[in-house]
Copies of this chain bind each other. A is one copy, B any other.
Amino acid sequence: MIQPDSYIRSLLKRAPGDTVVAQGWVKTRRDGKNVHFVQLNDGSSPVDLQVVLDAGVAPGDVVARITTGACLSVEGELVASPGKGQAVELKARALTVHGAASPEEYPLQKKKHTLETLREIGHLRPRSNTFGAVFRVRNALTGAIHKFFQDRGFLYLHTPVISTSDAEGAGSMFQVTALDLDGLSRSGRPADFEQDFFKRRAYLTVSGQLEAEIFAHAFANVYTFGPTFRAENSNTPRHLAEFYMIEPEMAFCDLRDNQDLAEAFLKSQVEQVISACRPDLEFLSKWYDPDLFKNLEGLLSQSFERITYTEAIALLGKAGRNWEFPVHWGADLQSEHERYLTEELLLKPVIVTDYPLEIKAFYMRVNEDEKTVAAMDVLVPRIGEIIGGSQREERYDVLRDKIRAMAAHGMKEESYWWYLDLRRFGGVKHAGFGMGFERMMMYLTGMKNIRDVIPFPRTPGNAEF
């Protein structure tokens, strides 16, 4: 097993003269006169370790197996490197090929592949430079998120993946069943979910918010970070059927505190990931988005603009554009509107608040005007909406009446008994938001297709690996 001081990332920082063992996979090999140069990588760094293998150190049949993709252990001495971009290289004294990779068959050869092609070989793409960088950023971002909340004393909780409530009517849900579906169709009888595992219909969760509210009424500041699901048939570069959400929820918190937290949260993630993964971001910027650092540093250096929905509608009306989706008070903001505000008009992240009651979820707190709710969406350049949140309706009567009014849309008051109970017993103003983790990954890496920032994407017709 590779120990911390033997990762290639660590070896590259060590002093010439040290005897070490390097282990990893061959990126490329080129041959000089009486010498072979092997670029070795173990996934710990975007920079390879150059192995210098003098002729005669390994027998010819071993050398023949040192091709792109092969797995090696190399023992030798670190020496000062004459090449640029690395301080040391490894002069091999002994070498083992653990597993070869036939050049005729190994799909991940040196030549550059399209991202589409790499998706087809999801079991090999983590070894590419691009996905090495992406998944190191993903690891660092996960850590940054936990650090942000833990530093503030938030309690992390796992909300359930299997749910029996269509929490907020947030979209199409996958059904989860242990019934024999072949038997069901043969039987010709109606499905009897009383006989199913949970004795009723069960779904994959679309949000952990309602359960997070439970915990916020006991631990004050809490957050979730887990998988969520949508069974929407959206074959776009921005949608996944399975993706990750972070959902903080805070008691004693109003919409203003909520905005402050969201802004601090986004800035902290960018700052921590730049600090942990600068070489990876530099690689990604070079190949995928020359403006990456400009965008990230722009987010760090500016205060987010805060405007109400009503102000946003006025600004959009004055834009002098032919919008695909017409702009009027009461209409939801579409991607074209959001991106205009953040990318063209205000040139910075924007928080839009206080949306019309009719277009937002039932749990959002009704404002004094009784026409809007204390909602907020955070928009950033290039991505659009990256965070959505609200202050929650904490008034028992108001919430109960809203649920009752939605009975025609299939909402059942009795399904929300525990959610209503939070307002009967020690209720308090509270607020929270959700951030799509993969949206943030796209923002941080400059990748343009959401399938390229998650290890194994699930999309319509696709759940390989």
Which of A's residues lie within 8 Å of B, judged by CB? 1-4, 7, 9, 23-26, 42-44, 69-71, 73, 98-102, 105-106, 108, 122-124, 126-127, 131-132, 135-136, 138-139, 142-143, 146, 150-153, 155-164, 172, 174-179, 181-182, 184-191, 197-200, 202, 204, 211, 214-215, 217-221, 226-227, 229, 231, 233, 241-242, 244, 250-253, 257, 261, 394, 418-419, 421-429, 454-456, 458, 460-465
Contact = CB atoms under 8 A, between A and B. Distances in A.
24 contacts: A1-B253, A1-B261, A7-B220, A43-B219, A71-B427, A73-B252, A98-B428, A106-B425, A123-B418, A123-B419, A132-B219, A160-B458, A160-B463, A161-B229, A162-B242, A175-B176, A175-B178, A179-B181, A184-B184, A197-B241, A197-B460, A198-B458, A215-B455, A226-B226
B150 A143 contact: yes
A241 B162 contact: yes
A185 B184 contact: yes
A197 B178 contact: no
A394 B151 CA distance: 42
Contacts of A426: 25-26, 69-71, 98-101, 106, 127
Contacts of A132: 218-219
A456 B160 contact: yes
Contacts of A157: 135, 138-139, 455
A221 B181 contact: no
Given A158-B455, A160-B465, A218-B132, A178 B25 contact: no
A200 B461 CA distance: 8
Given A151-B4, A174-B176, A71 B188 contact: no
Given A135-B215, A185-B185, 10 more contacts: A2-B250, A7-B153, A23-B220, A99-B426, A123-B214, A127-B217, A146-B146, A159-B455, A174-B178, A198-B463
Contacts of A24: 220
A204 B227 CA distance: 12
Contacts of A163: 463
Contact of A215 (B126, B188, B244): B126
A25 B241 contact: no
A131 B155 CA distance: 13
Contact of A152 (B4, B122, B138): B4
Given A106-B425, A176-B175, A227-B227, A1 B221 contact: yes
Contact of A182 (B143, B182, B191, B461): B191
Contact of A25 (B7, B218, B456): B218
A278 B165 CA distance: 37
Given A43-B218, A160-B458, A184-B185, A425 B69 contact: yes
Nearest to A213: B123
A463 B135 CA distance: 34
A341 B298 CA distance: 61
Nearest to A422: B123
B188 A188 contact: yes
A159 B456 contact: yes
Contact of A188 (B185, B419, B427, B456): B185
A136 B123 contact: no
A155 B174 contact: no
A122 B135 CA distance: 37
A258 to B, nearest CB: 8
A43 B188 contact: no
B175 A177 contact: yes
B198 A189 contact: no
Nearest to A41: B218
A185 B177 contact: no
Contacts of A174: 162, 176-178, 197
Nearest to A460: B197
Nearest to A123: B418
A220 B44 contact: yes
Nearest to A163: B463
7 A-B pairs closest in CB distance: A43-B219, A99-B427, A126-B218, A123-B418, A98-B428, A71-B426, A1-B253
A217 B226 CA distance: 25
Contacts of A458: 160, 162, 198
Contacts of A199: 461
Given A123-B214, A182-B191, A227-B161, A99 B428 contact: yes
